[in-house]
Structure formats: structure tokens, C-alpha cells
Structure 1
């Protein structure tokens, strides 16, 4: 196969892989924007049922990632007899078969939100758990494919580039949805959601079938040369299956994994802090100086721009490496926050730029972290001499240890705001233990203590997060020569001349 043919095939594989993100994001963005409003304003769910549902959802959301990862990858944690090898193409086929089943089920679970079929509290609980379960299956297998399809940084960057392109396209479903959203007449919005779900089902079926057919053809051509298709670090001794306890002990000794999780926990916290308090910052820092349409534009840009901006970040990753680009983004976050702190809260246009850019760069960093997790999959494979990389399980363990950041963000944010300014977002009454005297004025009027408190949260949270992340990231050693050595070991010295995007 000539170099041009290889490039066309690799690009085709990358486009198909990236398009799977479109069929997820086109539904998930609509879900995030409307599911709470639907149950609160349309189905009239009571407060107790809502919080019970959210609590159960939080627990299920944290546990299902490692659970599904273990169920998916436990067979790969058994070392084969000496000299035996597992074809990596079979692993890819297993992921694609799982996506072809879980993708359509994910789309159907999305539809369950928009038709009232049970008591609001019961429907809310069941819909959230079903939806998040199938979303986790789709996301785990899609993320694991990033580590299974390619080993080299350039190929993984190309795959992630296509994911960003199609995720940006999927974000536009949010803008279209405004044309159909009407709490008083839900019929048009239901039809819109049915159309999105049908598009997603068709996309998952066709793309997963195309990729599976592509790989099956390649495996058929190589059925007599399975050794060349294997990923192995030399012959492995006979071993029993690795138990979950043994796997956790191995992971606890994986220093780069621990430093990455520490950094990523702060990143998840900061991303959700921005999401939770974006409307509050707009209301109390900018509402008197910008129009409602300008605020909506800032909100829309903050959702779409991270995907588009990530295309540039990925080109930088190809040139300088993911580690350096992420470090630069942390330094940029720190520099922008310090500059905003020095400028003060009275510069409206600077505030607009900072609020939007803070979310864009923070979300952009999140979208690069899958590349780092894929490198950790390589290191785990090499260090523990696995039969096959346990990609989905490692992604699931990262999610388990970092998702508490989603809960900590609103809890810490509302606590800081209440203690510093006396502003309680729930009852809007001055707190008795406030550290700052609160004047007897309407807290929603943008009084100086409240405005100052919002501004301090806006700038000091990024500063604290950036400093902690730079400290943790400086201890992460899986980059440069060490990363190249790990990738070489995973590929195998005898396979160094092969293209990394396998089964082309």
C-alpha cells in the first residue's frame, strides 16, 4: 500500500471514528440544556423527588464508569500462555459491536425524557439512570477506541481532531432547538427530539457497521499472520486472571496515573464551576452593562468555541506534544486571571472576554485529556505486561476518581459566596456567619459586597486551580523520551515500520 493510499485510508478511519461523536453530542447538548426545565416547568416535579433523583444519579454516575469498564476489559487482564498473542483487531471489533448496540439504546433513552409516561419523580429517576448508563457505555467504548486504534501521538491527534470537528457540529443542535422549545406547547419540541434520535440511531448503526466491515476485511487478509497483528511486549508467562483487587493495587503504584487524576480532579471541578456559575457572573457582573442578547451570545460561544478552538490546540499538540500544550494552557489560565484581578471589576469588555475565554480554555483543556489517558493506557500495558490494553477500564477508573469534582463545584462555590457576601442562592437571605457585613438591600440588585464576591470568585478560583494543577502536572513524567520509549515497547520493535492506525 503506497503512502498516499495509507493516508487516505487513515483519514477515512479518523473521519468515521470522529463522526461517532456527532451522534452523541447532537443529543447530549439538548439533554443538558432542557432536562431540568422539562421536569420542573412541564412535568411539575416536586423538590424532594428532584433532589432524591439527583442524589441517586450522582451515585450511579460515579460507579457505572469503572463497573462497565471492568465488565468490558476483564478478559484482557488475563495473560496468555507463553508466546501467545491476542489480535488487536479483535479488540477493536468488540468495541464496535458494543457501540452498535449501546448507541441506538442511548438514543432511545434520550426520547424517554420528553413524553410523560410515569409519575414525575419516578420517571426522572429512571430516565436519568437509563440515559447515563447508555451514555457511559457509548463514551467508554468510543474513548477506548482512541487507545486501541492508534499508538503514535500523531495518529491519536488526528483521531481527536475529527472528534472535535464533529462535536462542534453536534453543538449546533442547541441553537436549532430554540426554534422548537415551548413549555406551553411541547408537541413541536417532541418531534424535534424524535428527529434527532432517529438521526443518531441511523448514524450509530451505519458508522459502526462501516468500521466493523473495514476491520473484518483486514482481519480476513491477515488471518494467517496473526502474530504481525498482535500487540505484545514479548512472551508473557502464564498467569491467572487479574482480580479487581490486584488491578487496584497495580493502579495504586502507577505514579503517573495518580498525578494525572489529581490534576484532572481539579480540572473537572473548574469546568463544572464555570458551568454552574456562568449565569450568576453574567447577572451580577455584566447585566447592567450588556443586553440580554449579548449575554446569550456569550453563552452560545462558550459552548461551541471550545470544540473549534481545540482544532488549533491539536495542531500544537502534534508539534510540541500534549504535555507542553496542557502546561501552557494552565499558565495561560493563571496569567489571564491575574491580569483580570489587577484590572479590576469595572472593565466591562475585559470581563466579557475573560468570562468567555476562561470557559473556552478550560473546556479546551478537558478535550485534550483523552490523549493523556490513552498514553496512560500504553504505560499500564507495558509496565504490567498485559495481554491487551485495558482501555475502557482505565478510562472508567479516571472517571470514578474525578467525577466528585462535579459535586464539589456547586457545593464549594455556593459556600464561598454565602460565607464571603452573605448571599444564599437558595433562600436569598443574608447568612448569619458571613465574614463580610451585608447591607440591608436586595441581594439580587448587584450590591457592592455581592458584586465584589462574584468578581473574587471569578478570578481567584482559576488562580488557585491553575497553581495546584501546575504543581501536580510538574510531577507527571509520561512525556518526552519516556513516552516515546513506552510507545515503542507497546508497538514492538519488530513492528516499528507499520502504520499505527491498525486494520486499515
Structure 2
């Protein structure tokens, strides 16, 4: 963002926008990696409470995204004969205000996992729902800004570049967490999580405040050419008719690219969370006798950082060939922002409902996050008889054999089951994704046409917002 003379700060909008990913990534990677193991191995949650909690969380996790998206964007979905009630700068400022308020609350909700304050089943449910609620608000508003700040591919790619860069930095928390993780002595891990929370609260508060102040400065500068691009025509308003949720869902169901995208993304979310939930288990039973603790920490951290580093390279290719964008899961927000553009054009909206569309994507895809631990633990039990809730379950099968032989049989069965999961889950997910992705048509000439139509409708004569 360009700062006018007299401003005390001059930090690019893309850097500030991307830095918010750091404060989410620091916490969320640790959450994904340890929340299941914490409640199973440390708090000793029973299987019934775990499944009940995950089932209720499945419903909440899916429904809160479109709910918060609708509450955020319903005022943008009114249909009018001319003009628009809300300008683009007001939309951006509304998003920034939501991030400023809910970012620190998201960090505090993360802290509630690591101290036992209620019965395991009750705490499991409350913590999951509370954490995911604040995470949803933060993610929706942050992702929606990707579509609201700019229309051009170049500027969106720059915004997403810094998101990947800071997300990679945030993944460093995984390296450090593995060094302090100890199921028998949880104090060091709790202190580590407390430090992460304090840093994230400070970062969210400072970065969103700076971003909001700098954006307000541009909005107040009436002679700024950028400001003229941002505003949608303010013609006198005619009679307004509010679009209902049912009507919006009907429109969305006819959006074929949206349907194929969420089908593919559902499988992607499941696969990503399956890897996150079970990677420590795979390390323990497949490599623990072959690698040191420090090597395990490195492998665990690398599995989180490598995708973001990969994205930094592929983002440079997105400017000329979107197939790289559409083939890399961590860059899918760029594709969703394109779907926002297409929804804006085909439904002749006055203002893009970006948060709501991101929420509707999550409605369909978030169940994959819950299915991952449930299906994973079930498959592990099917293949090996090993129940993570009862560590002696498989040992009972071979209890009549000598101790050394029991251990060897038990370990062989678990290793074989882990190997099957490592092979068959990725292969199955890949085939399903390719089938869905082959039907997606928002690329090439169609994508360029959609972007041109949105820019013309919004009366933006230059590509995107030059503040990026």
C-alpha cells in the first residue's frame, strides 16, 4: 500500500496481508499435529466421547463457515436496479475490523486445549467448537480479502506469495514443538503453546491495526486515483430486494465449476488432515528404531514447511500458466477467488460475496477434516486390530506367546497397517481428485473473460488495486 507523505509507516499491503498467515500457521499446525494425541494419550478420553465429539464437531465445522459467511456478506447480496449500497473500501475495512477483533480470540481458544479443565469428553467438544469458530471467522475474512483487494492475477498471486512465505515461517513451530512434546511431562509443551499464543496475539493486533490505518489513509485521500478505482458507482438507489439464502443456494447449485471444485477439494482436505493427524504415528512405528529424535523432529517440520516452499516457486509460474495453481493444494485460495469472480459475473451481483463463497466451499469440504481421524483410526484397527484408545488390544491377541515374540508380532502388524495406509490413501485420493478436476473449466480464455467482465462491471480501468 502506498503511503502518503506524513505517514509514519510504509509497509506494503501484501506483506501485512501475508503476515497474518504466520500467526494462524504457528498455532494451527501445532493443533493439527497434537490435539488427537493429547486427548487420547494424555487426557485419556474414551472412544465413545471421542466419536461423539468428532460427530458434533463435524456438523459445527461444516455449518459455521456458510453461517458466518452469510452473516458477513448478506448485506452485499441485495439486488438493485442501479447503484450499490456498499463501496469496496467499506467492505475491506469491515474485513479488517473482524480480523482485528477475532484474531486474538482465536489465539486464546487455541490455549484451551493444553490444560485439563473439564472431563475429557466435555473439554474435547467445547475446545474443538470454540477453536474452529474463531478460526473460521479469521480464515473467511482473510481469504475474502484476497478477492476483495484485487481482481488481477498478478496482484492476487503477489498476495498469495506472501501468505505462503509467512505460512512456511509459521511451520517452524512444528520443529520446536516436537522437541518439547512429552506425553509424560506436559509442562514444557504447555509453556511452549503459551508463548506461541502471546506472540500471535501481539502480531494479530499490530498487523491488523497497521493495515487498517494505512487503508483508511488511502480512503480519506479523495484525490487518490486508486480510490476512484475502488468505488463502485454511487448512482441513486432504486428499490432494493434482498436475496434470500434459499435463492443464493439455488444460484450456487447451478454454478458447475463450484460443484466440481468442492468435490475435488473435499478429497484434498481429507488427505491433508489425514497426513497431519497420523504422521507422528507413522514416524513412531515405521522409523522410530531407525532415526534419532532430532531427525524425527526435522522430518516432521519439513513435512509442513516443504509445501509452502514449493508454492513460492509455483506462484511465479501462476502468472503465465494457471495449471500450476490448480494443481497445488495450498494455492487453491487463488482458484476460489476466481470462482468469486465467476459468481459475481454470472449472477450480476453489485458486490462480490467473497466471504460467503469461501464459506460455502468450506461447508462441503470441511467434513474431510473430521473424516480424517475417524476413518484413519478405523482403518488402522481393520488392518491391524490396533486400537489407539486401548493400547493393549492387539497385545491380547498374542498374549499366550513369549513376551519377545508378542512384541515382534505386534510391531509387525502395526507397521504393516501403517504402510497400507501410507500407500492406499494417497492413491485413492489422487484418482478421485483427477476425476473431479478434469471437469473444471475456469481457466484459459474463460478465466480471462470472467476477469475482464468483472473489471468492466466495477469500472476498474487498471488491473486490480495498485496498493498491493
TM-score by length of 2: 0.84
Q: Which sections of structure 2, spanning at least 5 residues, go unmatched? A: 398-405
Q: Which residue of 1 aligns with 2:175?
A: 175
Check the 8 A contact 1:219/1:503 in 2, yes or no: no
Q: Which residue of 1 aligns with 2:303?
A: 302
Aligned mate of 1:444, from 410, 416, 438: 410
Matched, 1:146 2:112: no
**C-alpha distance after superposition, 1:179-228 (max 9, x if no partner):** 54455555544443333222212211111111111121121123899764
Matched, 1:389 2:352: yes
> How far apart in 1 are the matches of 2:419 and 2:119?
42
Question: In the TM superposition, what is the alpha-carbon distance from 1:299 to its structure 2 partner?
Answer: 2.3
> How far apart in 1 are the matches of 2:72 and 2:425?
37
Question: In the TM superposition, what is the alpha-carbon distance from 1:157 to its structure 2 partner?
Answer: 0.9
Check the 8 A contact 2:384/2:417 in 1, yes or no: no
1:24-173 maps to which residues of 2 (within 5 A)? 24-84=24-84, 86-173=86-173
> How far apart in 2 are the matches of 1:424 and 1:195?
35
1:318-333 maps to which residues of 2 (within 5 A)? 318-321=319-322, 324-326=323-325, 329=327
> How far apart in 2 are the matches of 1:29 and 1:391?
25
Question: In the TM superposition, what is the alpha-carbon distance from 1:452 to its structure 2 partner?
Answer: 6.1
Q: Which residue of 2 aligns with 1:23?
A: 23
Q: Which sections of structure 1, spanning at least 5 residues, go unmatched? A: 330-364, 432-439
Question: In the TM superposition, what is the alpha-carbon distance from 1:146 to its structure 2 partner?
Answer: 0.6
Matched, 1:220 2:184: no
Check the 8 A contact 2:140/2:359 in 1, yes or no: yes
Matched, 1:403 2:382: no
Question: In the TM superposition, what is the alpha-carbon distance from 1:132 to its structure 2 partner?
Answer: 1.2
**C-alpha distance after superposition, 1:17-61 (max 9, x if no partner):** 000111111122233333344444554544443433333222211
Q: 1:47 to 1:84 in 2, by over 3 A?
A: closer
Q: Which moved more, 1:171-180 or 1:134-143?
A: 171-180
SS in 2 for 1:498: coil
Aligned-residue Cα RMSD (Å) equals: 3.5
**C-alpha distance after superposition, 1:396-445 (max 9, x if no partner):** 111111122234444555565666x56444543899xxxxxxxx996533
Q: 1:283 to 1:204 in 2, by over 3 A?
A: closer
Matched, 1:487 2:451: yes
Aligned mate of 1:477, from 441, 448, 451: 441
Question: In the TM superposition, what is the alpha-carbon distance from 1:82 to its structure 2 partner?
Answer: 1.3
SS in 1 for 2:138: helix
Q: Which residue of 2 aligns with 1:198?
A: 198
Aligned mate of 2:428, from 464, 468, 476: 464
SS in 1 for 2:95: helix
Q: Which residue of 2 aligns with 1:353?
A: none
> How far apart in 2 are the matches of 1:85 and 1:264?
34
> How far apart in 1 are the matches of 2:270 and 2:124?
25
SS in 2 for 1:123: helix
> How far apart in 2 are the matches of 1:115 and 1:430?
33
> How far apart in 2 are the matches of 1:145 and 1:70?
16
SS in 2 for 1:446: helix
SS in 1 for 2:72: helix
Q: 1:107 to 1:418 in 2, by over 3 A?
A: closer
> How far apart in 1 are the matches of 2:352 and 2:34?
38
> How far apart in 2 are the matches of 1:294 and 1:462?
24
Check the 8 A contact 2:32/2:276 in 1, yes or no: no
> How far apart in 1 are the matches of 2:387 and 2:120?
25
Question: In the TM superposition, what is the alpha-carbon distance from 1:290 to its structure 2 partner?
Answer: 5.0
Check the 8 A contact 2:82/2:237 in 1, yes or no: yes
> How far apart in 1 are the matches of 2:157 and 2:35?
33
Question: In the TM superposition, what is the alpha-carbon distance from 1:471 to its structure 2 partner?
Answer: 2.5
Question: In the TM superposition, what is the alpha-carbon distance from 1:153 to its structure 2 partner?
Answer: 1.0
SS in 1 for 2:79: coil
SS in 1 for 2:171: helix
Aligned mate of 1:371, from 334, 359, 363: 334
